Amino acid sequence: MLKQLNFAPCLMTTVGKITNKPLKPNQVYCGRAGRGQSGFWGNPEPLLNEEDRLACIERFHHRLWQGDLQYRLGHLEDLRHKELLCFCGLKACHCDVYADACNQLWPEDTKETDFAL
């Protein structure tokens, strides 16, 4: 189950929406493979419909921490202080799982507030 996160943007890892503009140095593409991108950070879990969004993120969370995607945890440093871009935009997204992981691994990058993803 997704938990309430208590942090606000500072130097932390954040989530944004993909645009047609080139990526800035502080941005990382986290969508699926395509459009010249490897999709390394993409969510392999299919989003069947909008009602399935949170369950899809839960499945991704489980695979990242306890399943076949654990190898990605060794690369989280690449996401530190970055804006993670996905087509989900500001909706709940697997990028929230990455951002939460980065911000828990490096708590000095965050400051507590009542902001929740």
The pLDDT assigned to 23 comes to: 86
What amino acid occupies position 89? Answer: G
pLDDT value for 19 = 77
Looking at residue 73, its pLDDT comes to: 93
CB 81 within 8 A of CB 12: yes
pLDDT of residue 3: 43
The answer for residues whose C-beta is within 8 angstroms of residue 114's C-beta and 6 or more apart is 6
Tell me what pLDDT residue 5 has. 39
Measure the CA–CA gap between 37 and 16, rounded to whole angstroms.
17
Domain ranges of the chain: 14-106
pLDDT of 60: 96
Q: Which helix (H) or strand (E) holds 29?
A: strand 27-29
pLDDT of residue 30: 92
Distance, first Cα to last Cα, the chain: 14
Residues of the chain with pLDDT under 70: 1-13, 110-117
